[in-house]
Amino acid sequence: MDRELVERAQRGDESAFAALAVRIADRMYAIAHHILGDADRADDAAQQAMIDIWRHLPALKDPDRFQVWAHRVVVRAAYAEARRLRTWTLKVKSVTLDSRSSPDVAAGVADRDQLERGFVRLPIDHRAVVVLKHFAGLSDEEIAEALDIPVGTVRSRLHYSIRSLRAALEADARSGATRGQP
């Protein structure tokens, strides 16, 4: 991120903040969407994150750490949105496969569906770590900084999340086999 742009925005330059917002808005929304799994709630969380970034930007001590700090703000906004609406619903997506689809495509859709079902079962703080690691591409240290948790906690949550996702996939495979499905 451009240090000069961040510093200008910290001093209240609205055009500098607008330029920063354009650069990070899609990523903020994507992170919130991956954590929350709902487009409308992700939109609310991303908008709140942008407001919070504007309000608290003058207090940012190191402009070079803007991006990690912005990740922290959007994750916190996603947590707040999840607490605000504690209604967990199963989202069913209708997928139509045409008869010409190869079995590999159908298997990929089924695998994605299984992963998504396992992912939404994870606690939100674990989802946030997985999203920041595998979607945002942050290192364990950057995730720890963004979430204000120890690096060991990041690694523990990643381990627990992967183990839980694996167990969900295995359980789905066993239940499919017991129903006579391949």
Please give the share of the chain, as a percent, with pLDDT higher than 90.
62
pLDDT above 60 for 51: yes
Q: What angle do CA 68, 83, 52 make, to 5 degrees?
A: 40
Q: Which amino acid is at 16?
A: A
Read out DSSP for the chain? --HHHHHHHHTT-HHHHHHHHHHHHHHHHHHHHHHH--HHHHHHHHHHHHHHHHHHGGG-S-GGGHHHHHHHHHHHHHHHHHHH-----PPP------TT--HHHHHHHHHHHHHHHHHHHS-HHHHHHHHHHHTS---HHHHHHHHTS-HHHHHHHHHHHHHHHHHHHHHHHHHHHHTT--
pLDDT at 174: 77
CATH class belonging to 1-88? mainly alpha
Segment among 37-46, 94-103, 148-157, 172-181 with least mean pLDDT: 94-103
pLDDT > 70? residue 141 = yes
pLDDT value at position 1?
A: 63
φ, ψ of residue 93 to 5 degrees: the values are -105, 130
Q: Specify the pLDDT at position 110.
A: 65
Q: What is the pLDDT of residue 108?
A: 61
- Could you tell me the pLDDT band of residue 168, with boundaries at 50, 70 and 90? confident
pLDDT in tens, 52-70: 999 999 999 999 999 999 9
Q: 173 or 46: whose pLDDT is higher? A: 46
Return the minimum-mean-pLDDT range out of 26-30, 86-90, 125-129: 86-90
Q: Where are the domains of the chain?
A: 1-88, 90-182
Crossing angle for the helix pair 66-84 and 39-56, nearest 10 degrees? Answer: 130
pLDDT tens track for 67-104: 999 999 999 999 999 888 764 444 444 444 444 444 45
Dihedral of alpha carbons 141, 39, 50, 20, sign? positive
The first and second tokens of residue 84, run together, are 């605000």
Q: How confident is the model at residue 160 (pLDDT cuts 50, 70, 90)?
A: very high
> Looking at the predicted structure, is the pLDDT value of residue 14 above 60?
yes
| Cβ pair 171, 177 in contact under 8 A | no
- How far does Cα 82 stand from its chain's mean position? 12
What is the pLDDT at residue 28? 95
* 74 close to 28: Cβ distance less than 8 angstroms: yes
Q: Is the pLDDT of residue 107 over 70?
A: no
**CATH code for the structural domain at 90-182:** 1.10.10.10
